[in-house]
Amino acid sequence: MIELASLDDGRTIYLNGERVQQPSTVQLFRDTLTYVNGYYRLQEERPETHLFTDAAGKQADTVFKTPRSAADLAAKRQVYQDIAELSYGMLGRTPDFINAGIPAFAAHTDFLGQGQYTDFAANAKAYCQHIQQDDVFVSHALQNPQIDRAQELHDVKRGATGVQATKVTAQGIYVSGAKMVNTLAPLSDELLIFNTPTLSPGDEAYALAFSLRNNADGLKIICRKPFNRPGYSRDDYPLSNAFDEIDAYIVFDQVFVPWEQVYVFQDVVQSNKFFMDSGLFDHTSHQDQARGVIKLEFVTTLAIEIAERLGVDHFLNVQESLGDLTANLELIRGALLNAEVSGELDDAGVFGPNMQAILAIRAQLPKMYEKAIKTIQLLGAGSMMSVPDFRDFDGELGTTLEATMGSHLMDATFRAKLLNLGWDVTGEAFGQRQLMYEYYHGGDPIRIRANHYQNEALDKGRDMLYRILSE
């Protein structure tokens, strides 16, 4: 469990234009932390599925279990989805995200090798042990700031294009620079910093992977403007006022990282391998798509509920739209199962998901989510724009609102809550950020789709094609 007091460990957080003196007192953080802690609460509430006994005989979260079969992956997926259900899929970077990849990483540390100053492979192995044993909440930052995407990192002369080592000692390295988006950074225990596989020769200074505590000296966690609506109730903003995931821009100002916490040092090849060869990519992606399915189910159900409660579900065009959403949901559920049953054991004996199936979800889910969001808007139509402040229901307007807004399909306050939910997830800043999240959080879907076609095995298809062409 992340204790509130642990946020007051000296970490440097900026929010609403000022340095936060005591993070544990910030209501926004407190609200979101309640749901982040669902990961730990479920270990107590459902130990039979959320805990397992590890090789050392200790109990650990099931997300740390090394999958050896499709059934193991399915059991882990159930855990990810239990956690996602607590936030309706709205919290993307709960502790199970990175932790899902830790057992695979632990089995694939050898590729990191040794350096002049330290043994990277041994560091990574110790890191994985520590994350599991202490059940650490890690948030990650891999994406470098968009300063000038047309140039290589090292060619850009102004602005922080990434994080680079500025000083090297026998004890460790000093790093400076920035990472663009680090979701939930103010609430996590530690950060894992690495790069996407996009560095080029010449980018050596940026070619790093390391971990650090959130309270490291010189680390600044600068939060974007919050999307919650203080002063309004959860009836008015059911999601904004509970699940603002708090993205942050992370600045490193001569931050010291001891060698034991460095996994790649000034090595472009290793940096480009880090996410994939560690297994982190495959297994965090499995968690990610499992969560995505839950969120798609939530917004699909919301669209249907709005249609039924407004009595528009009788129309063929509306039924067709809703059928589009339910069909999408079934396709995505099926793709996730496909990813598990057609997964494979890798060279280290870790059973990984079929990545073409996982990436098919990643390629299409942004469109499906957007479709569901648009459908909610079209069905909620003007109703979503006519919901009064919830305080009006308790004031002199209460009886009038109850009499005029209530119907045989729902009473007035249910109607207001339902439509508020519809607006929160589609129109509010919170909902727009969720839309952005589903689009971009796992990389650029345009390039994901382009790569997907290039990696698809179509042997049977080509056999058929060339058979008919040669007839």
Residue nearest to ligand FAD (CB): 183
Identified binder of ligand FAD from the candidate list 126, 147, 168, 181, rule CB under 6 A: 181
Residue 149 among known ligand-binding residues: yes
Does residue 295 interact with ligand FAD by CB under 6 A?
no
Residue 176 or 200 with smaller CB distance to ligand FAD: 200
In angstroms, the CA 50 to CA 65 distance is: 10
Residue 105 or 259 with smaller CB distance to ligand FAD: 105
DSSP at 184: T
Residues in 442-461 at the binding interface with ligand FAD, rule: CB under 6 A: 443-444, 446-447
Alpha helices in 108-263 (DSSP H): 120-133
Total residues in contact with ligand FAD, by rule CB under 6 A: 20
Label the pairing between strands 190-193 and 208-213.
antiparallel
Burial of 13 per CB tally in 10 Å (0-12, 13-18, 19+): buried
Residue 108 or 441 with smaller CB distance to ligand FAD: 441
Stretch near ligand FAD under the rule CB under 6 A, chosen from 158-166, 177-185, 267-275, 354-362: 177-185
Residue 161 or 241 with smaller CB distance to ligand FAD: 161
Residue 7 or 178 with smaller CB distance to ligand FAD: 178
Residue 140 among known ligand-binding residues: yes
**CB atoms near residue 67 (< 10 Å):** 25
Residues 200, 152 contacting (CB under 8 angstroms): yes
Does residue 437 interact with ligand FAD by CB under 6 A?
yes
Residues in 415-434 at the binding interface with ligand FAD, rule: CB under 6 A: 433
Structure-token match 């390391």, residue found = 210
Does residue 388 interact with ligand FAD by CB under 6 A?
no
Residue 148 among known ligand-binding residues: yes
**CB atoms near residue 308 (< 10 Å):** 16
Residue 120 CB, nearest approach to ligand FAD (Å) = 21
Helices 280-309 and 268-277, axial angle in degrees (round to 10): 50
Residue 187 C-beta-side C-alpha neighbours within 13 Å: 28
Identified binder of ligand FAD from the candidate list 49, 143, 200, 432, rule CB under 6 A: 143
Identified binder of ligand FAD from the candidate list 76, 286, 309, 441, rule CB under 6 A: 441
What the block records as the tokens of 96 is 């199970």
In angstroms, the CA 33 to CA 41 distance is: 12
Stretch near ligand FAD under the rule CB under 6 A, chosen from 32-40, 141-149, 345-353, 415-423: 141-149
Largest CA distance in the chain: 82
Residue 353 among known ligand-binding residues: no
Residues in 87-116 at the binding interface with ligand FAD, rule: CB under 6 A: 93
Stretch near ligand FAD under the rule CB under 6 A, chosen from 3-11, 106-114, 181-189, 389-397: 181-189
Identified binder of ligand FAD from the candidate list 21, 146, 317, 455, rule CB under 6 A: 146
Residue 227 CB, nearest approach to ligand FAD (Å) = 11
Identified binder of ligand FAD from the candidate list 440, 456, 461, 462, rule CB under 6 A: 440
**CB atoms near residue 263 (< 10 Å):** 26
Q: Nearest 5°: phi and psi at 70?
A: -60, -35
Label the pairing between strands 247-258 and 262-265.
unpaired
DSSP string, 398-442: HHHHHHHH--SS--HHHHHHHHHHHHHHHTSHHHHHHHHHHHHTT
Residue 13 among known ligand-binding residues: no
Residue 165 among known ligand-binding residues: no
**Could you tell me which residues are annotated as the binding site for FAD?**
140-142, 146-149, 183, 444-447
Chain residues that interact with ligand FAD, rule: CB under 6 A: 93, 140-143, 146, 149, 181-183, 247, 433, 436-437, 440-441, 443-444, 446-447
